[in-house]
Structure 1
Amino acid sequence: MTVFLRTRMDTDLLHANYYLGALFFALIILLVDGFPELTMTIARLSVFYKQNDLCFYPAWAYAIPAAILKIPLSVLESVIWTCLTYYVIGFSPEAGRFFRQLLLLFAVHMTSISMFRFLASVCRTVVASTAAGSLSILFVFLFSGFVIPRPSMPVWLKWGFWISPLTYGEIGLSVNEFLAPRWQKTLSTNTTIGNEVLESRGLNFDGYLYWISVCALFGFTILFNIGFTLALTFLKAPGSRAIISRDKYSQIEGNSDSSDKADAEENSKTTMDSHEGAGRMVLPFEPLSLVFRDVQYSVDTPAAMKELGFTQNKLQLLSDITGALRPGVLAALMGVSGAGKTTLLDVLAGRKTSGHVEGEIKVGGYPKVQETFARVSGYCEQTDIHSPQITVEESVIFSAWLRLHPQIDSKTKYEFVKEVLETIELDGIKDTMVGMPGVSGLSTEQRKRLTIAVELVANPSIIFMDEPTTGLDARSAAIVMRAVKNVADTGRTIVCTIHQPSIDIFEAFDELILLKTGGRMIYWGPLGRNSCKMIEYFEGISGVPKIKNNYNPATWMLEVTSTSSEAETSIDFAEVYKNSALHKNNEELVKKLTFPPAGSKDLYFPTQFSQNGWGQFKTCFWKQYWSYWRSPSYNLMRSLHMIFASVVFGLLFWDKGTKLDDQQSVFSVFGAMFTAVIFCGINNSSSVLPYVTTERSVLYRERFAGMYASWAYALAQVAIEIPYLLAQALAFTVITYPMIGYYWSAHKVLWYFYSMFCTLLYFTYLGMMLVSLTPNLPVAAILQSSFYTMFNLFAGFLIPKAQIPKWWIWFYYLVPTSWTLNGMLTSQYGDVDTEITVFGDKKSVAAFIRDYFGFHHNQLPIVGVVLIAYPLVFATLFAFFIGRLNFQRR
């Protein structure tokens, strides 16, 4: 509102264009404000489909409340906008016109929300609905009558003017403003200023068209809601696809006898026996023990707890934890929920990003140094995070190439990859795409095994696994544990957090570390055959009930040591363990392992990462290359969007590039450039958000594992975009340049292509930068919308540079879209001396561009440098923040 300030605008033909720009900007803001309805609707669809399948309610019972509940939001948005802008900008002061503008903006916002809700119900996925939403905005924007007036539209496309909802917003607002008394001054042509403005835009309608426009907008709202209801009724939820190995498929296709036999064989496999020869590995490794003594972990007390009366400044989560993990011993880390299992695992692995860690941790008898420890350890997270668009084998190869010693030749590395895939039993599905969890690709159990393989291929001495069987059924959990046991049989040190395991899974472990609530240790020792050692220890404690026959030892152990059982029996199991003979024996073992073996050396690596900088970048680029090539939902959709938009631009502005006779014809071609820059750029920037957000989660895991430096990932992510953006810019130029009919010269064509290429670069890198700055996708999208608003408002189209208040002019020079439009318009027309009529006077095109827009042809070299500077700045900021900011809290 301070850009279109009333003290700077008069009621004449020149300033009427600025009032039109302010009205149109209001329409765009309220139209785009409905865009988040896409993701919100899709997020709720899964719940709707589930409840609808269970016959909770019909689709209309869901659709009607969804529409009604948005009415207060539309009222609030339109009231705030109108109250803040109407009199500050200086629209017609009559109260009736104020409330009519308010009503029309309310109708526009309702239509926008309904349209995006309908598109979400039809597309049903974020990627598809985002593309459809972008194309819909482009269509209603282009055909609204502002960018190109109705009289200037090709005859065969004027139907688009009447089916665009934004048209009726433009008609209603324009009629409401320019038929006001203050615009009724008569011109020399025997028409009023208001009518002249409306006629030049093809909006010369009578006042009653305002009410028709309001009714049309509410009609669109009703139609979109009907479409939303029908889509919910007849379209089903998108399905998911699971992957099975070829061997399993052959079993399914076989006859019933062979299937029964195969099932029997498979079930026999799910015992905890290892594959024959699993202990042999192509690459040798150094067995290492991990000793920890008196480990403490605390966090700063949350403010909410202090308000409840908690007086201490720190909240203790782990207390005096002492133990050891040894080669070839498969250890289970257990405890009730909140006991600190994952916390202890993260502390030992060095994965904590906050809090205070105290105590002694040694690796092979030497103090642990996290930078070197990351090179000899692996961490399998509970959430299996992988790049979705590469295969199982490529995921393992990527980890191997970055984490194995550079002196190991490629053939040996590949043999080791094959052996790891066989050990983890992934060789049957090695060419399968990883996919998105619950949507496509690998099943949960297969993803768990892939997580193990990605860590095992680094040839670590110590592997941490956070609840590898959580969320799996008994059969899948047995398959995963068989893979874990195969790894343990290679002589590695392995510890797994585990929650409520079955008898078979529990007895696959060799040792148990048990924690109680508050992070105190109550048992560390062997399990024994059929868990006899653990049972003997707890049954030897007075007051502990005996285990029942055929009862799961793990379940019994958790029950008798629970907080409620401790309260009933008045037993402090932590104190009992501290005073036990087992604890004394463990102390002796820890003391022995604290000292390094004779002849051993401390871990040392000359560099932080296994590969040099070029190797890191090359491998990251290799993965990004395949990810992009196999991402049609990202690259194909944005490419099709560019082609479709280019064709629409070409048809709508057909052969207008050199047919200039007045200021409106210049405004039309400038509008074509403005629309192309804004909408093609916004589509690219919005499309890249979900992709980079997904890959950032993978980055966090890989960076913790010490695979590469953040700059290598960022440079690969930035570089892989260039060929795709080049192709987009080329397609845009090839389609629009001859269709619109711009001047044919190599200099002008190259400038046109260069300007669009730089635009796509900086919009795409802007999206990447915002992801690196924000904790999640919704926050990035919200921040992105504020950038779009500024890029739109200060581009120089809605209000030229000369009319921007001096307190905002710095923003004009700051936003990149103003430089793009400067380069495109000036390179095309800045040297054209053809005379045109400008508000009744004769002036050359070059002079009009210089005087009205402030664009100078001799400043094109400066514009060219600035245009390439923006992508470089955004890419650099992306690389900086993706390395410095970590929104994953552990």
Structure 2
Amino acid sequence: GEMIVGPSKALFMDEISTGLDSSTTFQIVSCLQQLAHISESTILVSLLQPAPETYQLFDDIILMAEGQIVYHGPKSCIMSFFESCGFKCPGRKGDADFLQEVLSKKDQRQYWSRTEEGYNFVTVDQFCDKFKASQSGQNLAGELSKPYDESKGHKNALSFSIYSLSKWDLVKACFARELLLMKRNAFIYITKAIQLGLIAAITGTVFLRTHMGVDRIHANYYMSSLFYALLLLMVNGFPELAMAINRLPVFYKQRDYYFYPAWAYAIPSFILKIPVSLVESVAWTSISYYLIGYTPEASRFFSQLLILFLIHTVTLSKFRCVASYCQTMVVASICGTLTFLVMLLFGGFIIPRALLPNWLKWGFWLSPLSYGEIGLTGNEFLAPRWLEITLSGATLGKRILMDQALDFSSYFYWISVGALIGFTLLFNVGFAIGLTIKNIPGSSRAIISRNKLATFGERNQDKDTENGMPKLQAETALTPNRTGRMVLPFTPLTISFQDVNYYVDTPAEMRKHGYMERKLQLLHNITGAFQPGVLSALMGVTGAGKTTLLDVLAGRKTGGVIEGDIRIGGYPKIQQTFARISGYCEQTDVHSPQITVGESVAYSAWLRLPPEIDSKARNEFVNEVLETIELDEIRDSLVGIPGVNGLSTEQRKRLTIAVELVSNPSIIFMDEPTSGLDARAAAIVMRAVKNVADTGRTVVCTIHQPSIDIFEAFDELMLMKRGGELIYAGPVGHHSCEVIQYFQAIPGVPRIKDNYNPSTWMLEVTSTSMEVQLGADFAQLYRESSMCKDKDMVVKRLSVPVPGTTDLHFATRFPQKFREQFKACLWKQCLSYWRTPSYNLVRFVFITLSCIFFGALFWQQGNINHINDQQSLFTILGCMYGITLFAGINNCQSVMPFISMERSVVYRERFAGMYSPWAYSFAQVAMEIPYVLMQVVLFMLIAYPMIGYAWTAAKFFWFMYTMFCTLLCFVYMGMVVVSFTPNIQFASVLSSMFYTLQNLMSGFIVPAPQIPRWWIWFYYVSPMSWALRVLFTTQFGDYDDRMIDVFGETKSVPAFMKDYFGFRRDLLPLAAVILAAFPILLAVLFGYNISKLNFQRR
């Protein structure tokens, strides 16, 4: 629809039938056929598994193999071409299936029709040569050899404009789309605004005006509050990164199809975020300005508002720019944090401009934060109330600005405004350029070592000399191969169900259109049974409730109301027990991307097979399964990310089956095992499925577009109509005779045409339009049929336990003990972390660059000999604050997308009963420890000596211990936030609030003695406050003989630390214990969230 509505006369459509039933696909292609014939459009369509009737709708066929065109010409001539080559399509074989298989080395032999002649494999090159020599090939060559005759073409036949609309209309369209997306993401924007208002109120009560005087000491608090306002609005922009990244795939598709240029997308993204920046800056300023007690002048209020508005706009623009170049969430999070850190350190607060090394002073003028600082501090401290003359002869306000090296004239305010506008434009231009030049990364492929590939090539060559593989038919190819024996015993079990109903809350949209019932019924009195050794198909048009029924039977539904009786082996189903003897192959093929095929299957076997099975038997079983599912030749391939790298869609399907089969289940559910596959790949998957069923297991598949061969490979069929009602439940029969006979017996139902796909015919004659035409209800006809009565009797018989059998019972909830679960989860996480350089290597690069950067900026300023006044102490505390906070933020930001991606896998594995959520959680948190420790070691080797901290064992290891606990705390906080929220965007919003509150209550922005008593508890529950306390106290708390000048007084360093910051050495043991307690507490909270919260909606 997205392509057809445009003016395009040439349409190229790739795999448009994926996820659709064959009847719907037929209707869509019929529409395309009419569009081509009526509007004289050129339409090229690639289909995966076209049914014969869909195939017949096309006029011309292009058949390709190995990157070459084997045939290109009229559909009516293609079969005669292959007959001239010696190959003929059997009577009940779809033409499209024949055309794909006749080119395959393994399938070609069965179609050889010249029995009097010996068969030799015909290669693709030979087919190509035969086509070029054929009449169709010569006609094609003749057409291509003729030059284009311009006189026969219409002058408007070609378009000389890239885009369909004018530039203004393109921008208007992008504006409308961006506005719509913002409305639908309103929850995130409203949450951010509420969060900002809440923090503004907290900040205002921390820096309450009644506690603040107009003097030099309190001026530092005013300075801190202004810096915090800038910092907060910058951190508030972090969620923009996740939202921009998530929109990139759709943007790349539409850009490459010339819907619009990158600049037309970038302009609305910038302009429509201006009101967001305005609302958030107004919310902050209007709440905090008078609470804190800034100069009570309207002009200065609006001047502060303007600077905060511009800094927020700059930040959003910067994060969008970073997203356009980094493209993935992990890399973008790290790069976004790194650029944020550079802006902060050069911003003039943590380290004043005067204390920057001479060769880095230029960096001050390249940071947007510097201009924000200049604008805000000048606006406040050049006000009349700060004009008191100090002993130095300068005004109090000027003296304060001189201490921070921000003593600029008042007109610099407008220079700052201009600079921030310039940064905004620069970042948005960079955003547009990034969108223009960058492309979506990667392509899906299987990764195999060259040695393995050579071995497989030799093995396939050996196979080619044999008879090849028989065709895919129920009585031949879909029987277990010689490897399908399965080395572990299992108990065959039936699953029977009576009068199953399923209700959900009525969606709001349906209520708007007049549906007044509180509950919407999706399944209506479904009764049936699935038996061992029987391959059952669950079919119906899109929306009939196939997957819903499968989820209900498997216990995968997370909401709604289920009614009815479900029994396993005649006994009532108990979900925890059922999970041990069943497997569920999801349609989405969710796997850990950095694990190989063999490791994925071995991991599932490790956790799902009982402990009585030793490792040798388990490995043999894993090998059996890999061979049965035909995965043994790619067992060393990484799974990868769908659509980016790793396995193909068909290989993922087979891996999903293998992961479930290796649990040695008695019952296996498969949701759309052939969706997204071409006919040959679907045949491979279904051969594997048939192998599984013929081992005596109960196998149930939902399926959309089966070919004749695949459909007739099933033994039994349950057919549902839209609305969740059953209209057929019985055998398929030889050549689908049972299904055809049942429906053709209904008066008015048209007879099936010769060689027509029975599954497609069945869906067509039972459609809603056919019911209206016949005036019949197929569900009612089924309920009144003898088939239904026979099925009810079978279900009743199977619902009674067989004499001598007992109900399923397991002594433990999970197959393995907790220790083995933890060990297996840790093994997988270890492999996954090691193979994810985009996460771990990049964060090592981040900490290394940060260490070098901090070391250069704060060169030897941690040496006690450089501590002379309060500003030098503030500077070194700022260094500790900066490196700890931003290394922590980077860890928190970068771990979130990693955990979010793994959470989908955890949901699947948890439903399968593989392990306790606590085992996974503890393995996940334990896996972070060595990587965080390595980060700390890098800091201690690079930044610690460069900054000039004391080289004594006690100080060194105290610093190392504190950094380790703090960084670990931030990593675990990122995990907790993801486990507590439904998606990465909301997690980013919540984490930004955590960062800002950590900033405020760390003891750096506002010292502990200055925090009002109603907020002091927050200071004591902040990990950053304890980290700074330990770092500062262990480094400088024992220099009792070091006297410094602070605010006109002479004090020892420890005395000033105690009076100003509230840091005391006697609290170090307590602080050490609390620092260790924070990561432990967060790890437990992560485990609790994983075990109790589930954001899947099924």
Question: Which residue identity lines up with residue 749 of structure 1 in the other structure?
Answer: F
Partner of residue 562, structure 1 = 767
Structural mapping, 1:657-696, within 5 Å: 657=862, 658=864, 659-696=866-903
Q: Deviations over 1:382-435 (max 9, x none)?
A: 111111111110000011011112111111110110111111111111111111
Partner of residue 525, structure 1 = 730
1:458 has 2:645 as partner = no
Partner of residue 851, structure 1 = 1059
Question: Which residue identity lines up with residue 253 of structure 2 in the other structure?
Answer: K
Asked if 2 retains the 8 angstrom alpha-carbon contact of 1:278 and 1:487, the reply is: no
Compared with structure 1, are the counterparts of its residues 434 and 279 closer, same or farther at alpha carbon in structure 2 (3 Å cutoff)?
A: closer
* Cα deviation, residue 75, structure 1: 2.2
Partner of residue 48, structure 2 = none
1:329 has 2:537 as partner = no
Range 855-864 or range 262-271, more displaced: 262-271
Partner of residue 31, structure 1 = 234
1:56 has 2:281 as partner = no
Partner of residue 315, structure 2 = 112
Structural mapping, 1:595-634, within 5 Å: 595-634=800-839
Structural mapping, 1:76-225, within 5 Å: 76-225=279-428
Partner of residue 639, structure 1 = 844
Q: Deviations over 1:261-301 (max 9, x none)?
A: 79995895798434532541111212111111222222344
Partner of residue 960, structure 2 = 753
* Structure 2: tracts of 5 or more residues without a match: 1-203
1:18 has 2:221 as partner = yes
Secondary structure of the corresponding residue to residue 779 of structure 2: helix
Partner of residue 934, structure 2 = 727
Question: Which residue identity lines up with residue 441 of structure 2 in the other structure?
Answer: P
Secondary structure of the corresponding residue to residue 451 of structure 1: helix
* Cα deviation, residue 229, structure 1: 2.5
Asked if 2 retains the 8 angstrom alpha-carbon contact of 1:278 and 1:489, the reply is: no
Partner of residue 1078, structure 2 = 870
Question: Which residue identity lines up with residue 1077 of structure 2 in the other structure?
Answer: A
Q: Deviations over 1:195-241 (max 9, x none)?
A: 11111111111111111111111112222222222223333321223
Q: Deviations over 1:817-841 (max 9, x none)?
A: 1111111111111221100001011
2-structure distance, mates of 1:244, 1:639 = 27
Range 99-108 or range 527-536, more displaced: 99-108
1-structure distance, mates of 2:661, 2:915 = 17
Partner of residue 712, structure 1 = 919
Q: 2:945 aligns with which of 728, 738, 748?
A: 738
Range 655-664 or range 280-289, more displaced: 280-289
Asked if 2 retains the 8 angstrom alpha-carbon contact of 1:832 and 1:844, the reply is: yes
1:238 has 2:238 as partner = no
Partner of residue 560, structure 2 = 355
Compared with structure 1, are the counterparts of its residues 539 and 259 closer, same or farther at alpha carbon in structure 2 (3 Å cutoff)?
A: farther
* Cα deviation, residue 600, structure 1: 2.6
Partner of residue 819, structure 1 = 1026
Structural mapping, 1:95-494, within 5 Å: 95-243=298-446, 268=471, 272-274=477-479, 276-302=481-507, 305=510, 310-494=515-699
2-structure distance, mates of 1:233, 1:587 = 63
Partner of residue 828, structure 1 = 1035
* Cα deviation, residue 311, structure 1: 4.9
Asked if 2 retains the 8 angstrom alpha-carbon contact of 1:251 and 1:259, the reply is: no
* Cα deviation, residue 512, structure 1: 0.3
Secondary structure of the corresponding residue to residue 602 of structure 1: coil
Compared with structure 1, are the counterparts of its residues 80 and 262 closer, same or farther at alpha carbon in structure 2 (3 Å cutoff)?
A: farther
1:771 has 2:966 as partner = no
2-structure distance, mates of 1:776, 1:249 = 40
Q: Deviations over 1:726-756 (max 9, x none)?
A: 1111221222221111222222111111111
Partner of residue 47, structure 1 = 250
2-structure distance, mates of 1:733, 1:15 = 35
Compared with structure 1, are the counterparts of its residues 427 and 708 closer, same or farther at alpha carbon in structure 2 (3 Å cutoff)?
A: same
2-structure distance, mates of 1:881, 1:70 = 34
1-structure distance, mates of 2:950, 2:544 = 73
% identical equivalent positions: 60
Question: Which residue identity lines up with residue 968 of structure 2 in the other structure?
Answer: L
Structural mapping, 1:557-596, within 5 Å: 557-596=762-801
Partner of residue 269, structure 2 = 66
* Cα deviation, residue 80, structure 1: 2.2
Q: Deviations over 1:496-545 (max 9, x none)?
A: 11123222221221110011233221111111122111000000111211
Structure 1 stretches of 4+ moved >6 Å: 244-254, 257-264
* Cα deviation, residue 165, structure 1: 1.4
2-structure distance, mates of 1:39, 1:259 = 51
2-structure distance, mates of 1:251, 1:548 = 47
Secondary structure of the corresponding residue to residue 611 of structure 1: coil
Compared with structure 1, are the counterparts of its residues 105 and 314 closer, same or farther at alpha carbon in structure 2 (3 Å cutoff)?
A: closer
Question: Which residue identity lines up with residue 193 of structure 1 in the other structure?
Answer: L
Question: Which residue identity lines up with residue 389 of structure 1 in the other structure?
Answer: Q
Question: Which residue identity lines up with residue 121 of structure 1 in the other structure?
Answer: S
Asked if 1 retains the 8 angstrom alpha-carbon contact of 2:536 and 2:699, the reply is: yes
* Cα deviation, residue 494, structure 1: 0.3
Question: Which residue identity lines up with residue 818 of structure 1 in the other structure?
Answer: S
Question: Which residue identity lines up with residue 767 of structure 1 in the other structure?
Answer: G
Asked if 2 retains the 8 angstrom alpha-carbon contact of 1:688 and 1:764, the reply is: yes
2-structure distance, mates of 1:62, 1:377 = 48
Question: Which residue identity lines up with residue 882 of structure 2 in the other structure?
Answer: T
1-structure distance, mates of 2:756, 2:1008 = 80
Partner of residue 840, structure 1 = 1048
* Cα deviation, residue 601, structure 1: 2.8
2-structure distance, mates of 1:697, 1:190 = 66
Secondary structure of the corresponding residue to residue 838 of structure 2: helix
Question: Which residue identity lines up with residue 576 of structure 1 in the other structure?
Answer: L
Compared with structure 1, are the counterparts of its residues 417 and 259 closer, same or farther at alpha carbon in structure 2 (3 Å cutoff)?
A: closer
- Matched pairs, number: 888
Question: Which residue identity lines up with residue 105 of structure 1 in the other structure?
Answer: L
* Cα deviation, residue 860, structure 1: 0.7
Question: Which residue identity lines up with residue 60 of structure 1 in the other structure?
Answer: W
* Cα deviation, residue 604, structure 1: 2.0
Q: 2:1011 aligns with which of 793, 798, 804?
A: 804
Q: 2:713 aligns with which of 508, 511, 533?
A: 508
Q: Deviations over 1:616-653 (max 9, x none)?
A: 11111111111111111111111211111112111111
Asked if 2 retains the 8 angstrom alpha-carbon contact of 1:331 and 1:513, the reply is: yes
1:888 has 2:1096 as partner = yes
2-structure distance, mates of 1:510, 1:876 = 49
Asked if 1 retains the 8 angstrom alpha-carbon contact of 2:716 and 2:730, the reply is: yes
Question: Which residue identity lines up with residue 595 of structure 1 in the other structure?
Answer: V
Question: Which residue identity lines up with residue 316 of structure 2 in the other structure?
Answer: I
2-structure distance, mates of 1:654, 1:202 = 19
Secondary structure of the corresponding residue to residue 775 of structure 1: coil
* Cα deviation, residue 144, structure 1: 0.7
Compared with structure 1, are the counterparts of its residues 260 and 548 closer, same or farther at alpha carbon in structure 2 (3 Å cutoff)?
A: farther
2-structure distance, mates of 1:234, 1:279 = 51
